[in-house]
Amino acid sequence: MNTAAKHFTNAVSFVAGLLLMLFLISKAVTPAEGTVDNGVDSKDANGILAEPENSIDLLFVGDSETYSSVIPLELWDKHGFTSYCLSSSAQKLYYAEELIEAALSRQRPRVVMLETNMLFTKFNFDDSLLHKAGSVLPVFKYHDRWKVLLDGFMGEETDTSEESEFKGYRLYTKVNPADAAGYMKPSDQKAAIPSRCKSYLKEIKEYCEERGAQFILFSTPSTKNASYPRHNAITALAKQLGIEYIDLNTDKSIKIDWSTDTRDRGDHLNYLGAAKATKAIGEHLAKKELLPDHRGEEAYSRWDELYKVFTKKVKKALKKAGLS
């Protein structure tokens, strides 16, 4: 064997050995299929894996705007809809795509609603490539699970499957008023939506529709993130792709009070604002008659139990915040 061939063989052997090692480590750190693990990012979002199969009819996907604005248990109480928030802080569209794929491996939702703030969150090719690499070799994704594994070796119990008590919603009752003087000022301008975000949105839409779910875009109320240029850009893109778009910022019936309904000066809603946004979403979906009402069905009695727990915690939180 000549020198060049020997070097080539050694290189191939090294790469093969490295890939084998990464594969074995990935097997070790990957959580069991269908479970939520302490080492998994976005624990509330991944709580969808603890839901009974084919029990969720409506999915909400997005960043912190979503888990601050949509209350699945109130949709249950008012309409009998079973829904879940696949939301996480600073979520990007490539992660939204992964969460949707994971959810649809166990659920058959009739509707998937994606919050639009992500459409303006830039990311580069390397970010999405590394994220996809984590799907092939999970060591890139679950590298922080060593503590979980070490706890197991030390004989400490770890929770490997956990239901999200509020179905992905996060309860906030803090009030920090917003200056809404220029909020949703009319304009003919269009904000720029990054081309990579447009491509991912199209892929997600097609993926959902291929699996029988109607895909809808929606914007939650926010003085920090909503504007007419953004509204115009999303409206145009939704029309181009044939997607329904609901902008709660232009819905005058909601009547968000920016002196009481936000927890951080208009960036996110608190419970008072989320209750109004959720009511509007529920009424819109009820009129379209896209979702079944499961109230009174024995298989969904757990939702009644969780709603009772939720209302008690809300009352306690509101009282503590001086809002009751």
For residue 19, how many other CB atoms are within 10 A of its CB?
11
- Clarify whether residues 104 and 19 are in a common domain: no
Under a CB-based contact definition with an 8 Å cutoff, are residues 268 and 173 in contact?
A: no
Confidence of residue 162 (pLDDT cuts 50, 70, 90): confident
CA neighbor of 240 nearest in space, from 270, 205, 210:
205
Question: Do residues 18 and 98 share a domain?
Answer: no
Shared-domain flag, residues 125 and 56: yes
Mean pLDDT, residues 92-107: 96
298: Cβ contacts below 8 Å, ≥ 6 apart:
none
Domain count for the chain, please give it: 2
d(CA 248, CA 220): 6
Same structural domain, 19 and 133: no
Same domain, 8 and 81: no
Considering only CA atoms, which of 172, 184, 186, 188 is closest in space to residue 219?
A: 184
H or E element: which one contains 247? strand 244-247
> What's the pLDDT tens digit per position in 224-265?
999 999 999 999 999 999 999 999 999 999 999 999 999 999
Assign residue 294 the CATH number of its domain.
3.40.50.1110
User: 171 versus 163: which is more confidently predicted?
Assistant: 171
Residue 166 has pLDDT above 90, yes or no: yes
Confidence at 31, pLDDT banded by 50, 70, 90: low
What is the distance between the alpha carbons of residues 274 and 281, in angstroms, rounded to a whole number?
Answer: 10
Range of the domain at 177: 33-320
Specify the DSSP class assigned to residue 119.
G
Same domain, 87 and 175: yes
Phi, psi angles (nearest 5°) of residue 69: -120, -20
pLDDT tops 80 at residue 54: yes
Q: How large is the average pLDDT for residues 87-113?
A: 96
Report how far residue 204's alpha carbon sits from residue 228's, in angstroms, rounded to the nearest whole number: 25
Phi/psi at 114 (nearest 5 deg)? -110, 125
pLDDT band at 24 (very low <50, low <70, confident <90, very high): low
Same domain, 10 and 81: no
Residues 149 and 156: their CA atoms lie apart, in Å, by 10
Q: Looking at residue 130, what is its pLDDT?
A: 56
Over its C-alpha atoms, the chain yields an Rg (Å, rounded) of 22
> pLDDT tens, 172-197?
999 999 999 999 999 999 999 999 99
- Does 135 share its domain with 191? yes
Decide: helix, strand or coil at residue 246. Answer: strand
**Is residue 72 domain-shared with residue 160, that is, in the same domain?**
yes
> What are 234's strand-pairing partners?
none
Residue with tokens 């479970």: 35
Residues 207 and 100 reside in one and the same domain = yes
Least confident of 43-47, 155-159, 247-251, 296-300: 155-159
Q: Point out the least confidently predicted range of 136-140, 261-265, 266-270.
A: 136-140
Query: Are 174 and 321 spatial neighbours (Cβ–Cβ below 8 Å)?
Result: yes
The mean per-residue pLDDT over the stretch 47-55 comes to: 96
Q: Is 124 found in the same domain as 23?
A: no
pTM score, whole prediction: 0.82
Strand (E) or helix (H) holding 83: strand 83-87
Claim to verify: residue 109 and residue 147 sit in the same structural domain: yes
